[in-house]
Chains A and B, each alone.
Chain A
Amino acid sequence: MFDGNGAPRIGVYVCHCGTNIAAVVDVYAVAAAAAKIPGVVVAREYKYLCSDPGQELIQNDIREFKLNRLVVASCSPHLHEATFRAAALAAGLNPFLVQMTNIREHDSWVHADRRRATEKAVDLVRAAVWRVRRHRPLEKGRIPVHPEVLVVGGGIAGIHAALSLANAGRHVYLVEREPIIGGHMAQFDKTFPTLDCAACILTPKMSAVKSHPNITLWTYSEVTGVEGYVGNYSVQVTRYPRYVREELCSGCLECIEACVYREAKFADRFNYGLGKRKPIYLPFPQAVPQMPVVDPETCIQFKSRKCKKTCLEACGERRAIDFTQREQVERIQVGAIIIATGFRTVDPRRMPYYGYGVYPNVYTALEVERLVNASGPTGGKVILRDGRKPATVGIVHCVGSRDEKTNRWCSRVCCMYSLKLAHLIKEHTGAEIFNFYIDIRTPGKGFEEFYQRLLNEGVHFIRGRVAEVTDWALDPTEEGRLVIRVEDTLLGTVRRIPVDMVVLATGLEPREDAQEVRRRFNITCSTEGFFLERHPKLAPVSTFTDGIFLAGCCQGPKDIPDTVAQAGAAAMEALALIDAGFVEQEPNTAWVMEELCSSCKICVALCPYNAISVPAETGKATINRALCKGCGTCVAACPSGSIVQNLFEDDQIFEEIEGVLAYA
């Protein structure tokens, strides 16, 4: 392989790109002009250089003319730099002795004047030739990868990703903030459009997580610190005390029975306050882990230290209940991280005109989800807060979705879950049901058929965004009921529909601490606050931080099948990373000429990737090559000019500038 020494022998290749370039730029003239530049041994044009014959042409020239540098004048390096570097490597040339110059996006596509476009192409080629003369051969680095994976969030996305990796034989840490796993899906009654019982399809996966030898499940825990880089993350997990020792508890739940509170009397968060629980409780019957939690806010022992502690008596010899339990911090090493932190639903109090929190019979969809559920607070009976069975129900779509005043995006799942709830409420109560929609969006397998089924069941659909939910009555039929005022845009008139119960189909939005999580994992958010994927089409589960992947609604609203698909994809990407055993590193990183460094530490604070440190023993800045992304910020900022970036060295850049300006 050429070692970078000796006189440059440069080959210049000008691509026609069919007619993309050749129609505007005189490629023959460019090649002829390039041939005259000192150091150029051979200059050719070709119809498609990226094609196999095009690459072979270059490789043959490397061997025949003993070329030691290449310039390819074609499209953007984003598209084909890897192609030509690989072709050079296959012919025995160091790939970093190849320079591309873009005469398509930067020239033929943006100019019409053939003569001047050709002149510009010649200038660009000359600049590239002058630059490549200064190139040095570089080697890619290899960083070993830690074989374990962290999954953050124990909803269906996190569960599926963790199980996929664990089944592939990899060890996974699954960290969940709540005392139980299952996320929002555990709260659903049925799933659309098949009306499968959500718990029936979720709980087997939850149990599998608990019993899988390759999964370490930490519930009631949070990731509180992340350091390191792709393949080598060191993560700090804080485990909150549940005051029940996981290793000792057998899940008999006798302590709950024995609690000094005979009746459950505290608002139950899992059921959105519709049900009641005791200070020691299991959030729902099929909870995983099957282990009670003590709420120190309501437990008498925590409030007064004077409880009879009947729960301890019930626990007996097992001694699983431990009021002295404290927060614990665990530190783990992982190679990849999958973030599946999910979503929250829009708080309908933000839209006071829908009466949530004002009129007791206005519910959110998730609350109704608990009402229809057999293990919910009413045992599956759809009844109002005063115990009445509703005779008419209005379901308001797009609450906090597609709305300039709150969130502009479509939350994707609300139309379908509204249809599902309409079906379930009708099934449970026989009530007359009105859906108020802007558009019915049912793009999915079996979704449109489900909509047709609902139409046939006699559910009413009124097209129009609801103006308000109110209790002002105009006539006796409205007295004591909720009135939905809406413009029926198909009839072209304002209607007043009196109902007994209003269900607000609240949209999905990023969690309240999404920004905090984003900073902790050093990933990015889109404007609305969902975590940003690396590419919307071609890298939908990767982030801009290598080794961190996304799954589920933290990346954007999606339904269960899409979430599971994405979780599988994220698991696959993580597996590909850790199974390779190492990651290759581009050599365009920065390094410090220590004898010039003045230890001013300006670069340390500027580095967006925390790659620079100043060890006490040397007092000189050092750059961790594994963390450096080659952004060049430190290079530009260094007052003593002691930082050099490979492939962007000063003399390379100045030569390139001189080259482009050296027109005849």
Chain B
Amino acid sequence: MRHPLEVLYQDVGLDRLHERVVRRWRGGRLACHYGCQAVRPYDEVDVPYNPTRMDELLEAVGVPTVDFALKTKCCGGSLTGTIHEVGLRLDYILLKEAARKGAEALVTICPLCQFNLDAYQAEIRRSAREPLDLPILYFTQVLGWALGGDFKALGLHRTISGRTYVKRWFTAQAEVESYV
């Protein structure tokens, strides 16, 4: 069993991805969040302390990333379902730091990270009394968009938070600008 990040990075490679880019990214920087178990305890997917492969993939398709110190920190995991407020607190820390670093969206390599950060954002917004509204994307959604993927086929219409942003940068602009 292999993680898509590993396959895309090792088997496909940065160069081949770069060659196939058809859309130019006009948005801002994104934050890459790797989470816990993709890089721990085994280091086949990436370096456990400072993983960079998702950043490299995104940069290869022209999407700039921020230096995100919390990229391997807990997204709340299953705590959002058990000790709810602890899970939300962990999500809040990630979202706030990503926003502080100037990231316009958070990109994950884990469906649970994506779900936690995305689905509870409204609740976090209320409890923290802060205007957080960050789109949370799976990394293949960003890559797929750059390679010319369809908005719906990439599931971009199913994102919950930051919908305005997603609609602005992942649809209209794509029609305007062609990379090739």
Where the two chains meet, the residues of A that have a C-beta atom closer than 8 Å to any C-beta of B are: 351-353, 470-474
Contact = CB atoms under 8 A, between A and B. Distances in A.
A471 B69 contact: yes
B99 to A, nearest CB: 11
Size category, B interface? under 10
Nearest to A471: B69
Nearest to A354: B49
B69 A470 contact: yes
Q: Do most interface residues of chain A lie in helix, strand or loop, or is the interface mixed?
A: loop
B119 interface: no
Among the interface residues B49, B69, B96, B97, which one has the most CB atoms of the partner chain A within 10 A? B69
B70 interface: yes
A472 B50 contact: no
A353 B93 contact: no
B77 to A, nearest CB: 17
Contacts of A353: 49
B118 to A, nearest CB: 21
Contacts of B50: 352
B70 A472 contact: yes
A471 B49 CA distance: 15
Q: Considering the complex of A and B, which 9 residue pairs feature the smallest CB-CB distances, nearest first?
A: A352-B49, A472-B97, A352-B50, A472-B69, A470-B69, A353-B49, A472-B70, A471-B69, A473-B100
16 contacts: A351-B49, A352-B49, A352-B50, A353-B49, A470-B69, A470-B70, A471-B69, A472-B69, A472-B70, A472-B93, A472-B97, A472-B100, A473-B97, A473-B100, A474-B93, A474-B96
A472 B73 CA distance: 12
A297 to B, nearest CB: 30
A403 to B, nearest CB: 13
Contacts of A473: 97, 100
Given A352-B50, A471-B69, A472-B69, 11 more contacts: A351-B49, A353-B49, A470-B69, A470-B70, A472-B70, A472-B93, A472-B97, A472-B100, A473-B97, A473-B100, A474-B93
A358 to B, nearest CB: 8
Contacts of A351: 49
A314 B97 CA distance: 58
A471 B68 CA distance: 10
Nearest to A483: B69
Interface string B15-50: 000000000000000000000000000000000011
Contacts of B93: 472, 474
Nearest to B92: A474
Interface string B41-85: 000000001100000000000000000011000000000000000
B82 to A, nearest CB: 20
B117 to A, nearest CB: 16
A526 to B, nearest CB: 28
Contacts of B49: 351-353
A473 B98 CA distance: 11
A353 B69 CA distance: 9
Among the interface residues A351, A470, A472, which one has the most CB atoms of the partner chain B within 10 A? A472
Interface string B71-115: 000000000000000000000010011001000000000000000
A566 B100 CA distance: 55
Nearest to A469: B69
A612 to B, nearest CB: 47
A473 B70 CA distance: 11
Nearest to B50: A352
Contacts of A472: 69-70, 93, 97, 100
Nearest to A470: B69
Contacts of A471: 69
A351 B47 CA distance: 12
A352 B49 CA distance: 7
Contacts of B69: 470-472
A351 B69 CA distance: 14
B35 to A, nearest CB: 16
A352 B67 CA distance: 14
A36 B81 CA distance: 88
Nearest to A353: B49
Nearest to B70: A472
Interface in B110-136: none
